[in-house]
Structure 1
Amino acid sequence: MIVCPNCNHQNPDGAAQCEACYTPLPATTACPNCGAPVQTDATFCGQCGSNLRPSSPGEVGASTGLDPFPGVPDLMAPDPLVAPDPLVASPQSSMPSSSPDVSAPVAPVPATVVSQPPAQEQASVTPPAASSSTPPASAATSGSSKTQLQQQNARLLHVQTDTMIELPAQLSVIHIGKPNDQIPPDIDVSGFPNSEIVSRIHADIRVEGDAFYIEDVGSANGTYINHNPLPSGNRHRLRTGDRIGLGKGDKMTFLFQLS
């Protein structure tokens, strides 16, 4: 996966731009040790841990036994440090100090007792009663839980025949194409007009949380989003009103809808 440097979204390998914010993604290359895809500016391979940067001259010299910097004289050893002179006690140090003797006992300071006011004189603050118009907490919690459980329903509207197709809610990957022996389609378009331009394994719609992504899986005539070709290996996040074209010529067209 390629992590977007702008929004940290994980994109599939080989993607040229972020599918979430459309930021251009850094170029990738293959690890010379294991062949895993890595970014060109990476220092280590995330798959095998191999060092992707060339060794420094010092490391080359250490491994080969050669001087990495020929012609440069060795540094001279510094002179030894001079030992400091011993400290001599001054005559004033023998004179008695005028400061008070800290070892003399100090009279204890009596503790100050702060008397507490009588209990009956303390003002009691009574919190205001809750308004009867405020809904109970349990009702608010149940209402929010019901809101969180609601799921979006996605549909495809076939433009040429005005036919509505509901996307299966229980599938995380929805295959679009025509009947075949390898990957049977979840959305069969063989009954629509001009279905001959659609490959048997044409495109997939992937569901990730509340987001829907479409990608071309190697079709012969390509997949188009809002009349723009979708490169193979890239994904497009679908939004309400997006126009999906299976094949060239806008002959097999669907409108993506959410409710």
Structure 2
Amino acid sequence: MIVCPNCNHKNPDGASQCEACFTPLPTTTNCPNCGATVQTDATFCGQCGVNLKPSAPIEETDPPTEGVPVPTQVSGIPDLVNPEPLVELEPILINAEVPMPDSDPNLPATIISQSTPLEEEETSMPLSPVSAPPPPSALPTPISVPPVPISAPPTPTPRSAAFSGTILQTQSASLLHLQTNANIELPSNLSVIHIGKPNDRIPPDIDVSGFPNSDIVSRIHADIRVEGDAYYIEDVGSANGTYINHTPLASGNRHKLRPGDRISLGKGDLVTFLFQSS
């Protein structure tokens, strides 16, 4: 039977959701070492303490190749040949003496001035007359601007007076031992909190060996899992069981804790805690 962690309804083995409230039920499996029933997401077996999630082997990568093959030249392709120019360029003579055609060879050669386009453009541009500077009397009179007074820098406001926002508080939870009225704060840096007594396999985060009637509590008794702001408790194979509000919690199932829930470790309600959250 699988007990629903939401409404405590007993469902048949193999059910995936609760028949009463349709809450998804946690899946279970068997420990490969001792065969005990544990949740599929459990890290350690509550019965024998074996690690259920061994680390994956590190895959060895092949060493990098020492060299890269040099591409060879493809045969059969002729080398490129630079073509010869089709037209031979003749130099342009500037300010050279060129004889005029059909002229008398006894007369001196006529000089033809061949100027570049840049020289022709410069010679064709008209020159603009340079204007004389205006007399001093024609200049505008400068306007005097009064100096702007510099104010003193503002006095810094104390941080305590300037900041009055709301300070966020992190959620904390604790277990109140009803027999001795002792309050135990749950560690805020752990995602799985082990409850039990000192042992060689899984040291407890909450040690109950100093409380009265602790002999009914197993060394590896229960775990409290923290998921976001929610706290879940599960029995990890204790000998005398775990009870939530006087109802036995089946091994492998978990219960979402709410403020005021009564947690009894073992039978007879001899070691009892009250879950508190703030």
State the TM-score, normalized to the length of structure 2.
0.43
Structure possessing the higher radius of gyration over alpha carbons: 2
State the TM-score, normalized to the length of structure 1.
0.46
Which of 1 and 2 has higher RCO (CA within 8 Å, sep 6+)? 2
